[in-house]
Structure 1
Amino acid sequence: MSNDKNINASEDISIAGTIKMLLGFVWKLDKVYYPILALLSISNAANTVLNIFIPKILIDGFSKDWNLTTFISVILTIAAAKFLLLQLKAFAKRQDDIHRAMLQAKFPMEFAKKVMAIDYANLEDAKVLDLKERALFPLTNFGALLQMLSSAVGFFTSLFTLVSVAAILANFSLVFTIVIAVLTLVALILSARFMNVLKEVTETIIPINRRYGYYTQIATEPRFQKEYRIYGMHTLMMKKINSYTEEIAVWLNNIYTTQGNTETTQALLTGITRFLTYSYVALRVLSDQFGTRIGLGDFSIIIGATESFANSFRGVVMDVVTLGQTISYLKPFCQFMSIPDTLMESGAKEIEALETLSFNNVSFSYPNTDKIILDKISFEINKGDKISIVGLNNAGKSTIVKLICRLFEPDSGRILWNGIDIREYDYKAYIDEISCVFQDFQLFPFTIRENIDTEHAMLNAEEGDYENVWKVLDDVGIKKEVEALPRKLDTYLDKSLYEDATDMSGGQKQKLAIARTIYKKADLVILDEPTAALDPLAESEVYENFNELTQKKTSIFISHRMSSSIFCDKILLLQDGKIVAFDSHKNLMNGDNLYRELFEAQASNYRG
């Protein structure tokens, strides 16, 4: 795991680096796509070139007085060639659509894997979170990946066509080809200017659109609806949404105005190009004043080639511009994907059963802040100890948990497992020895069994460890509620996804989270505010069975309810980032300290 607390989320990646990464991702996720892209581009270009030659072949046939048999054989040959090309083109197009859709689905999956693989510290860094949003938005809201792949197909199709028709025109007249290229280039310069305006507007509008999308999303989410009604927040929400809508409308109006002016000028240039083309080629048919006279067949092929030249030239340039834009949109994605993975910096030592866990002069502050949360703290926990960590809000209680779980690294000092720095252990093996209910714990939209017995769920095992799952549910006092469900352990937990799912109360969910923690075969059990959502009776039941629940394992317990500390062997008292006491409940209650003050204040409230 990286020790660099301040990850430079804005570290730039060159265009070349971005292109290399994107090409690498496409190759990694779908190695068949590049051959499909080549096949589609070549078949498109070949079809265009064949269309140019068909009129010439037939006109020349009339000029040479082909007999009926020759005409029929030539027409059948052309039809067969055309049929084969169209079939090849259709096949390539179908495959392109399928594989593009697959890539569109796989890129966000790779992004999700990266989010789960990087240091957790990054996910509490505002810069990294902003980069995450900027990375995902072009994929999910702007369709940047599909646009990039479409532009790639268009670019290679236009390039292959351009090379072919340029050879035809250069053979006819090099000067004429240069004139057409210049006129086309002028039109493209105008298009490039518009595309540049579009790029600037898009870069401006992306953060606005992101906020607009966020507000419209939460406006419909059920979890916000009570507050909307009680506090009249819907009016303020609609005001914010409308303000972003109006701002987006102004930018879109600028885009369409510029686009309209550009298209008018381009249409004028296109008309001039066609007039010059038809005039010059017609003169070559009628006289030899401007060069060798040509026949009607050559007339048709030059007209067709000129149109294709202008279109393919425009296509090449416009697709390059579009590719450049989409690549720039996807640059934040590549930046985010460049953040190192946690597991890449794992140690190699094999971990042994816990005997001692100790903090040795550990100091810590969160990324991009100067506030010291933990200031050179030291303590040691022995095997089987039940430890309660107590302190005021923001004293650093949950921070200690995060450090033990390797979600963050200390700024200085060491955390030792059996006297060895935890960073020296194999990361996965170390995490396997820790089980935790976090303060903001999450259950997943899986079945109850899958949420608890994750090992069998990951193996897709039909025969799970049902007996022990039921036992741990009984231990935390939720077995009867689960047994009453129609599908029991196979009941899903999210009604928004599954019709036959169940929506549990906050207390029931917390019991499931405790059950998951106890079920995991770990040496160290950490419970961070595990009873916050439980009623007093359920809370008392958890406390009374605490030793049985933790199966005599080493346990760390954090709670604002001071009565929970009575069941623990020692209390670690935190104040202003330092340890001010580490002793038993009895001894601390005999002294003059913050713990006694907090305990008595809470006890008086209960008595009152």
Structure 2
Amino acid sequence: MSSQTSFPKQRTPGQMLRALRGNWGALPRLLLLFWQSGRKEVMFLLVVSLATGVAPVVQLVFLRHLIDSALSFINGQERLSMVLVWLVLLLLAYIAGIFLLQTEHWIGFGVQELLKARIQERLLKNAGQLPLGQFESAAYYDQLERAQKGVDNQIFSTLAFMVQTPATFFSIVSLLFYVALGSPLFPCLLLIGTLLPLTMIIRHHKQRYLAERKLTSDERRLNYFEEMLRTRPAAAELRLFHIQEHFLQLRRHIFNGLRDHRLQQERKLVVTSIIGDVGQTLTLGLTLFGVVALMAAGSFSLGAYATYFNAVIQFQQFLFTFLLDIATIDRDMHYIQDIFEYLDLVQSSQPPNGNRKAQQTPNVPAIQFEQVSFSYPGTEHPVLRNLNLRIQAGERIALIGENGAGKSTLAKLLLGLYQPTEGRILVNGKDLRELDFTSWRTQCAMVFQSFMRYQVTTRENIGFGDLRQLTHEPAIRSAALKSGADEMIQRLPQQYETPLGKAYDENGQDLSGGQWQKLALARAYLRNAAVLVLDEPTAALDARAEVEVYRQFRDVSHGKSALLISHRLGSARLADRIIVLENGHIVEEGTHSELLTHDGLYAAMFKIQAHWYQ
């Protein structure tokens, strides 16, 4: 569990006002998004809110006239028809108020849904635009968790309160004049009684946010354990090693710690609410005492007294609701700020070439690494150190080395997924950072060591390699034939339209690791890329399938700049040149026969593997 959360000390009113201004810095951006989500709807909503806000005063006026008319009728001074007129008007005012309130809710809900969808889409889009290095940081996932929580919880309540706040404000203004008719001191007294709980609630919200922010990592860890315990990926090992109870205990420990923090916050909220409610009740009592005194002095008729008494109570209720809404929005602004901070990550981490125009690299590129060093974010140990490598246009390179030597990292640097810590990468003599990354990546294809298993159809699994050919069946099948996946696909119930995986479709088909890997290869082959990178492309394949994959690689990579990463040293013979990495350095390079003659690291690794086949 995280260490005990520390809370801020009591702040002065000036400090609270400065904090409010700081918290509300995100409000203009939120209002702009709100406006952009539906201009007509927002305008109509404001009109409805204005009418809803005025409705209580209209109802009070009609109620006063109804009571006075009824008394006059009893005394024989008024006809019954006038009493009925005021009664009908009062009923119509109440019905109109109900209609306006429900209309406000309906329109507001629709605009909220549009805004939530817009922000959620921006969060997802931003995640796809961030540099890959961001995903190496636990702090990034904490920030994403807070932003997602803001979208899922706070933004909805914020907008709900923002929608009803104009109506509440209009009600307060209209009732203010009505209550002030009795005495200007009455609204002032009610305001003082309401500000006390408001300041306490704002302070409590601030403390709660700080506690939740500090516990973000624990909440993510709790979600991880719960996801692992209830989903398929870990199910086999949990049963085999009998470790389910162990993870349940870990989950229970984190949950209890989070629960204790939340209970502590709830206890503070209860105390705050009691003190605030008592203060409100006392000020309301003093105000009502003043109203009774005015009636005793003959300042009010019975109808005026009844409506004024009602107006005072409504004024305090609306005032408290309005100020509570302000306090709630102030609380939510912390979370809204988290959303915008996450959205701003893309701009703050945008590579220097972000605004350059797309440039198509002519033909098959020559690639050169010049004194390239790289360390993953948050680590000081370099994965690559002062690496120099030139890949000629159309040359096939095999990268060989032990685990952790930097082979996959080198490939990701080549694709522009990471940026060198030092040095530079040249593509046809141009610094890769000066090229448009999106354009450059369309000219590259890669099978990652940890490839994706998309829970969609077989055709889509291949078609994602080039969305332009997603529905082009001949191209899809040609890629499947090259990867060796077509034979397997033909045996599926719906062949290329078969849904894969059972997570979202009961009729989905499960595939073996090798079959999934063939689809990943087909995905790479679908894109007619000038640069082809295969990272352990046969790790899950049997011997016969492996031979076929390498035969196809030899044909498919002809005329391309290709990089083959593999622990199977026999496959290195397909390359024009073999590069041997050790501890981030190139220690050997040459052809298969040259390296065997050199009798260095490559020869030693080859002999170890060959020994098992003798």
TM over 0.5: yes
1:370 match: secondary structure: coil
Q: What is aligned with 1:497?
A: 504
2:387 match: secondary structure: strand
Question: Which 5+ residue runs of structure 1 have no aligned equivalent?
Answer: 1-12
1:579 aligns with one of 579, 582, 586? 586
Q: Does the 8 Å contact 2:400/2:565 carry over to 1? A: yes
Q: Does the 8 Å contact 1:346/1:425 carry over to 2? A: yes
Q: What is aligned with 1:351?
A: 361
What whole-Å deviation, never above 9, does each CA across 1:539-570 have from its counterpart, x for those lacking one? 11112232223354221100011111011111
Quick one: distance in 2 between partners of 1:580 and 1:436? 25
Change in CA separation of 1:159 and 1:251 when aligned onto 2, cut-off 3 Å: same
What whole-Å deviation, never above 9, does each CA across 1:548-604 have from its counterpart, x for those lacking one? 233542211000111110111110111222222221111111112111111111111
Q: What is aligned with 1:22?
A: 30
Q: Does the 8 Å contact 1:212/1:241 carry over to 2? A: yes
Letter in 2 for 1:506: G
1:448-487 aligned within 5 A:
448-454=458-464, 457=467, 464-487=471-494
Quick one: distance in 2 between partners of 1:132 and 1:190? 30
CA shift for structure 1 position 367: 1.9
Q: Which moved more, 1:87-96 or 1:16-25?
A: 16-25
Aligned length in residues: 586
What whole-Å deviation, never above 9, does each CA across 1:297-331 have from its counterpart, x for those lacking one? 22122212211221122122221221111111232
Quick one: distance in 2 between partners of 1:196 and 1:190? 10
Letter in 1 for 2:56: T
CA shift for structure 1 position 40: 5.0
Q: Does the 8 Å contact 1:347/1:423 carry over to 2? A: no
Change in CA separation of 1:490 and 1:66 when aligned onto 2, cut-off 3 Å: farther
By relative contact order (CA 8 Å, sep 6+), the higher-ranking structure is: 1
Letter in 1 for 2:493: P
Q: What is aligned with 1:95?
A: 107
Letter in 2 for 1:364: F
Q: Does 1:69 align with 2:76?
A: no
Q: What is aligned with 2:405?
A: 395
Q: Does the 8 Å contact 1:284/1:294 carry over to 2? A: yes
CA shift for structure 1 position 397: 0.8
2:311 aligns with one of 305, 308, 316? 305
Quick one: distance in 1 between partners of 2:187 and 2:303? 19
CA shift for structure 1 position 533: 0.9
Q: What is aligned with 2:10?
A: none
Q: Does the 8 Å contact 2:358/2:439 carry over to 1? A: no
Q: Does 1:50 align with 2:50?
A: no
Quick one: distance in 1 between partners of 2:292 and 2:464? 78
Q: Which moved more, 1:123-132 or 1:261-270?
A: 261-270
Q: Does 1:324 align with 2:324?
A: no
CA shift for structure 1 position 61: 2.1
Quick one: distance in 2 between partners of 1:186 and 1:15? 20
2:230 match: secondary structure: coil
Q: What is aligned with 2:236?
A: 226
CA shift for structure 1 position 36: 5.3
CA shift for structure 1 position 160: 1.9
CA shift for structure 1 position 51: 3.3
1:438 aligns with one of 448, 451, 461? 448
Q: Does 1:518 align with 2:525?
A: yes
Across the aligned residues of Structure 1 and Structure 2, the Cα RMSD in angstroms comes to: 2.6
CA shift for structure 1 position 192: 4.4
CA shift for structure 1 position 348: 4.7
Q: Does the 8 Å contact 2:369/2:424 carry over to 1? A: yes
Quick one: distance in 1 between partners of 2:258 and 2:437? 47
2:145 match: secondary structure: helix
1:440 match: secondary structure: coil
Q: What is aligned with 2:191?
A: 181
Q: Does the 8 Å contact 1:151/1:323 carry over to 2? A: yes
Q: Does the 8 Å contact 1:390/1:559 carry over to 2? A: yes
1:579 match: secondary structure: strand
Quick one: distance in 1 between partners of 2:336 and 2:68? 51
What whole-Å deviation, never above 9, does each CA across 1:166-217 have from its counterpart, x for those lacking one? 1111222112332232233334445445545544554455544443333222
Task: Percent identity, please.
Answer: 25
CA shift for structure 1 position 496: 1.0
CA shift for structure 1 position 248: 3.3
Q: Does the 8 Å contact 1:347/1:424 carry over to 2? A: no
2:282 match: secondary structure: helix
Q: Does the 8 Å contact 2:146/2:213 carry over to 1? A: no
Quick one: distance in 2 between partners of 1:362 and 1:29? 46
1:555 match: secondary structure: strand
Q: Which moved more, 1:153-162 or 1:486-495?
A: 153-162
1:294 match: secondary structure: coil
CA shift for structure 1 position 507: 0.4
2:528 match: secondary structure: coil
1:421 aligns with one of 415, 431, 441? 431
What whole-Å deviation, never above 9, does each CA across 1:47-83 have from its counterpart, x for those lacking one? 3333333321211223454323333333333433443
Letter in 1 for 2:285: F
1:81-230 aligned within 5 A:
81-140=93-152, 143-192=153-202, 194-196=204-206, 198-203=208-213, 206-230=216-240
Letter in 1 for 2:154: A
Quick one: distance in 1 between partners of 2:210 and 2:365? 60
Quick one: distance in 1 between partners of 2:312 and 2:160? 24
Q: What is aligned with 1:405?
A: 415
CA shift for structure 1 position 515: 0.7
Q: What is aligned with 1:4?
A: none
Quick one: distance in 2 between partners of 1:121 and 1:250? 35
Q: Does the 8 Å contact 2:142/2:216 carry over to 1? A: no
Q: Does the 8 Å contact 2:373/2:420 carry over to 1? A: yes
1:525-544 aligned within 5 A:
525-544=532-551
Q: Does 1:548 align with 2:555?
A: yes
Change in CA separation of 1:260 and 1:419 when aligned onto 2, cut-off 3 Å: closer
1:592 aligns with one of 599, 602, 609? 599
Q: Which moved more, 1:324-333 or 1:337-346?
A: 337-346
Q: What is aligned with 1:338?
A: 344
Change in CA separation of 1:323 and 1:347 when aligned onto 2, cut-off 3 Å: same
CA shift for structure 1 position 244: 2.7
Q: What's the TM-score once normalised by structure 2's chain length?
A: 0.88
Change in CA separation of 1:368 and 1:208 when aligned onto 2, cut-off 3 Å: closer
Change in CA separation of 1:528 and 1:36 when aligned onto 2, cut-off 3 Å: farther
Quick one: distance in 2 between partners of 1:268 and 1:15? 28
Change in CA separation of 1:441 and 1:36 when aligned onto 2, cut-off 3 Å: farther
Q: Does the 8 Å contact 2:407/2:565 carry over to 1? A: yes
Letter in 2 for 1:357: I
Q: What is aligned with 2:264?
A: 254
Q: What is aligned with 1:10?
A: none
CA shift for structure 1 position 396: 1.2
Letter in 1 for 2:53: A
Q: Does the 8 Å contact 1:36/1:96 carry over to 2? A: no
Change in CA separation of 1:14 and 1:523 when aligned onto 2, cut-off 3 Å: farther
Q: Which moved more, 1:13-22 or 1:67-76?
A: 13-22
Change in CA separation of 1:202 and 1:596 when aligned onto 2, cut-off 3 Å: closer
